[in-house]
Structure 1
Amino acid sequence: MADFYNTQTLDGFTMKLWRGERMCLIGFDVDNPPPDLVGFAIECRFPGSTDFKPLLNRIAFAYDKPAPDAVDGTRKFSSLQAPFQKFRWVHVPREVTQGTFVYRGRMMHMPSDGQLVAGTTIELPIDLDPTSYEGILDVGFTRGFTSSQAFVDRVPAGVDVSAYGKRLIPSKGKDGLDHPKTETAMYQWLGFEAVAMIFKVLDDVLQQPDATLDVFAYDFNEPDILARMEALGERLRIIIDDAGDHGAADSCETRAAQRLTASAGAGRVKRTHFNGLQHHKVLIARRNGQPWQVLCGSTNFSFRGCYVQNNNALLFQQPDVAQLFGQVFDAAFDAPEHFKADALAQQWHVIDTTIAGTTAGPRLHFCFSPHASSALSLDPLGDAIDQASDAVLFNIAFLNQITSGPLYRAISQLYQRPLFNYGVSDKASGMAVIKPDGTSAEVDFAYLAKYAPEPFRSEWSGGSGISVHNKFVVVDFNLPSAKVFTGSSNLSVSGEEKNGDHLILIEDQKIAVVYAIQALLIFDHLHFRSAMQQAFSTSGNHQAPPLLLRKPTAISGRPAWFEDYYVAGSQKANDRRLFAH
């Protein structure tokens, strides 16, 4: 067993655990499913506990009241009585503590008498340590689930969900610095580990008198982040984007620059847009002038970036990585107009964190833009997708705007290849779920809030603006050759040749699995809603299909729930095998 997965097969039943970032993916497979198989029950024993607790389902076989009333979005049905009719499930514990989690998976059967019977059972342990590589790299994600039942579950009883959401997030970005933050617990939940990492870096520097902070900022209207930077006084240097609306006199970026000029001094605050945008989102902490940790990724220092959008952040504490980002900041701070010609922007920088004789860390590659030619950064990405043998998963915020270049070509060809691929993009009118055949299904949360039955009607649409802001591609997560491309880059030809950005290639299966599970979590969340939206929009009177678990064919007269997963060559069959083996 590796430290990021565990698997067992018993009597034709396979169960596999995959470590995610503060979550676990459970995959199942059954060699020859019996006709009375009605799903899988999952139980978990948390570290320090002696008892297993069943994971809960939102739907069941039957209800004691009409389905539209019974299915209110709450996870209230034990999977021992309402098994999951999926071959994989992502469990996100409320808290991830140090120690071993033990998962118990059971095949659940329903004979002709309609009573559930437990079948083959497997128990597997796994460590969900929240830090990927201690002292080297930690990966964090924002929650990105304002339009979700998990968000609804946390809204105070009796409070209108949409009204609560609008109080939580300012409707206009330029109002962010004046927006009161009153719901501390909700902000912490939404920001999840990515935002916790941002504040950790800020607090680390504040608490150490010999520490200083260098910052690249793009969208910048989160008031608590700004307040901490102000508190640093002259220990701060910052570069803030001034392109487009960011350069307006009343923008939060301009106001933040003015406030930081007052606290840090005019010589420590710069505005630039390189040749297009200053698009980095980076914190570099130094001790006595030497960089010792750096946070980067796609998470903007803004309300939407931290608390609404799907984003990722990477915290490197490896000295060579910190030093590299320090050099990039110094070059950009001194002469951003000449950065494209700097040697830093003309090559990939490779850092191998593996300690001799061990497998202590991943092999890292960094590319900093703008470049003279986007081929430098994007050709390796296109080549990696072309060379994938098993799976490609992606979250690319502005994929619909990429109409040329290596990524466009590779993604276009990907749909014609017999590979497992799932993707999510975002567009102004809603979110696009990119399906395996290359078609997309748009998810309009405002539509669901207006027309859908419960539980979807109670969900907040998330306000105006995009919701999926990640920019990552995962290649062959299930193989030792796995790769992840991530960072702040929008992965477009224009952006790579004009914007100040970073693109990171990580060669490491443990990290690839983390990103793959995040891609699945987002995809499943949106794919389910796109299916519901299609069902509602094609039914003239917006009547919802019944939300029920399916009983065996001998009882229901309908095909078994698992039949589609055993169609040779189908995407569902590939899905079933990929995550359980």
Structure 2
Amino acid sequence: MLAQTAEADNMQRQHMGDLQHNRSIVINGDNLKIAIGGSANLSWRGLYVQNNNAVLLQGNNAFKLFEDAFDALWVSPNDVSGFDNTPSADWEDLGYDNIDARVTFSPHGKSNAKLTEIGKAIAGVKSSLFYSLAFLYETKGAIRNAIEKVADEKTPDVFVYGISDKSVGGLDVQEPNGNPPVAYPEALNGDNLPGPFKEEATGGYGVRLHHKFVVLDFNTPYATVYTGSYNSSIAADTKNAENLFVIKDQRIATSYAVEALAMFDHYAFRDREDEDTKGGNTKNGKKRKSDDDNGDGNDALELQEPPTNGGSAWWAPFWTDATKMRDRELFGQ
């Protein structure tokens, strides 16, 4: 269809060194110049089912950087070495006042690769780390190694929340320092859900979480966000066509941290329900109170009743549970 409407000479199918994974659009109009990057597939599922983000850029400088990257890809179809030595393959300033925001495009070469650089930034975090990284469960390298290091008890002063699209080995265990295990989007069992939760879009692999972002120290003047189409992998760095942003701005970092919090709470809830269904409805080795009145094996998912006089208040765990204590101390500032 595109070959018919745009003519064959105006269209290319590329895979670069592995994948053409760059989700970007450049709009060059007389009155409007916009560039769009990020993780979102521009499809129904990408916009309405998956967790995704898109970065919309206005202004001549930002627009020109995306246009230059497109031109560099166009003249070097599937030629990694033809692209990785262009200016687009290194950090370039987006040109906004009062915001340190830069963009780079993959594939990179050895001299301008970014994977190790991001891993070092994560390893140097001082206060908090939030991440939402699709495919982290199958990705090895500097970024995952740094996340595991920061989440470990050897860095007890850093608050860590993380989400991936599947369980991630090495990040699944509840550590004594209060950093929770990585959350991932299990499907809710419709048999025990009240409306409107029963109606949920279903689909194949990777249907729910597709974000790629890392937030460092959102509550400090050094707040930083890495985001884009860039998966945290060697292939994304040196083979695929990708876009990657680094934004050093506390307001923007906070907006990504809020998204991470909302997703973590939601997916942690899904994970608990999934484990209850698969593991005999236990919590910390103890039988949970059941609402399975008809004996069909499905507990009704309902809000907990308020405590009776003399019972524990809803906020009591925020002074006793390690994870909730750190939550209160960080977000109560």
- TM-score tier by shorter-chain length is 0.7 to 0.9
CA 1:339/1:522 → structure 2, altered by over 3 Å: closer, same or farther?
A: farther
Superposed, 1:245-324 pairs within 5 Å as 259-287=1-29, 292-324=33-65
Partner of 1:105: none
Aligned partners of 2:273 and 2:196: how far apart in 1? Answer: 9
* Deviation at residue 574 of structure 1 after TM alignment: 1.4
1:266 Cα deviation from its structure 2 partner: 1.3
- In structure 2, the partner of 1:379 is 116
Aligned to 1:349: 92
- How far residue 291 of structure 1 moved from its aligned partner, in angstroms, is 8.6
Q: Which moved more, 1:259-268 or 1:367-376?
A: 367-376
Name the aligned partner's letter for residue 280 of structure 1.
N
- Distance change (3 Å), C-alpha of 1:448 and 1:379: same
Q: 1:414 aligns with which of 144, 150, 172?
A: 150
Asked if 1:463 is matched to 2:203, the reply is: yes
Distance 1:384 1:341, change over 3 A: closer
Q: TM-score, normalised by structure 2?
A: 0.83
Q: Which residue pairs with 1:164 in the alignment?
A: none
Q: State the number of aligned residues.
A: 307
Check 1:299–1:388 CA distance in 2 against 1; reply closer, same or farther (3 A cut).
Answer: same
Partner of 1:240: none
**Conserved? CA contact 1:382–1:407, under 8 Å:** yes
**Partner residue of 2:70?**
329
List aligned pairs for 1:519-558, cutoff 5 A: 519-537=260-278, 538-539=280-281, 541-544=297-300, 547-551=303-307, 555=309, 557-558=310-311
Residue 578 (str. 1) matches residue 330 (str. 2): yes
Q: Is the 8 A contact 1:339 1:345 kept in 2?
A: no
Q: CA deviation at 1:433?
A: 8.5
Q: Write out per-residue CA displacement over residues 341-383 of structure 1, whole angstroms, 9 at most, x where no aligned residue.
A: 43225422134411xxxx4xx1112121111239721223212
Name the CA distance, whole Å, in 1 between partners of 2:61 and 2:212. 24
Give the match's secondary structure for 2:12.
strand
Relative contact order higher in (CA < 8 Å, ≥ 6 apart): 2
The answer to whether 1:454 aligns with 2:194 is yes
Larger Rg: 1
The answer (yes or no) to whether the contact 1:434–1:441 under 8 Å persists in 2 is no
2-structure distance, mates of 1:579, 1:307: 29
The 5-angstrom pairing of residues 196-211 of structure 1 reads none
Contact 1:367 1:504 in 2 (8 A): yes
Return the match for 1:496 from 233, 237, 247.
Answer: 237
Residue number in structure 2 paired with 1:30: none
| Cα distance in structure 2, aligned partners of 1:504 and 1:479 | 19
Counterpart AA for 1:550: P
Between the aligned partners of 2:182 and 2:84, the Cα distance in structure 1 is: 39
CA distance in 2, matches of 1:349, 1:465: 34
Corresponding letter in the other structure for 1:578: L
Shift of 1:438: 6.3
Q: How has the CA–CA distance of structure 1 residues 328 and 434 changed in structure 2, closer, same or farther, with 3 Å as cutoff?
A: farther
Q: Which residue of 2 aligns with 1:394?
A: 131
Please give the root-mean-square deviation of Cα atoms over the aligned residues, in Å.
2.8
> Which residue identity is paired with 1:369?
S
| Alignment partners' CA distance in 2, 1:474 and 1:352 | 21
Residue 423 (1) aligns with residue 162 (2): yes
Counterpart residue type for residue 427 of structure 1:
K
How many Å apart are 1:410 and its aligned residue?
Answer: 0.6
For the residues of structure 2 that align with 1:325 and 1:291, how far apart are their CA atoms? 14
**Pairing 1:340–2:93 present:** no
8 Å contact 1:374–1:496 — kept in the other structure?
no
How many angstroms does 1:463 deviate by?
Answer: 2.2
Letter matched to residue 408 of structure 1 = R
Structure 1 unaligned residues grouped into runs of 5+: 1-258
Q: State the Cα distance separating 1:281 from its structure 2 match.
A: 0.9
1:480 to 199, 218, 221: 221
**What percent identity do the matched residue pairs reach?**
32
Structure in which a larger fraction of residues adopt strand: 1
The CA distance in 2 between the partners of 1:344 and 1:427, in whole Å, is: 35
The aligned residue for residue 363 of structure 1 is 100
Contact 1:426–1:469 (CA under 8 A) maintained in structure 2: yes
Paired amino acid for 2:150: L
Q: CA deviation at 1:437?
A: 4.3
Q: Separation in 1 of the partners of 2:269 and 2:135?
A: 21
Q: Could you tell me which residue of structure 2 aligns to residue 88 of structure 1?
A: none
**How far apart, CA to CA, are the structure 1 residues paired with 2:239 and 2:233?**
10
Q: CA deviation at 1:427?
A: 3.4
Partner SS for 1:408:
helix
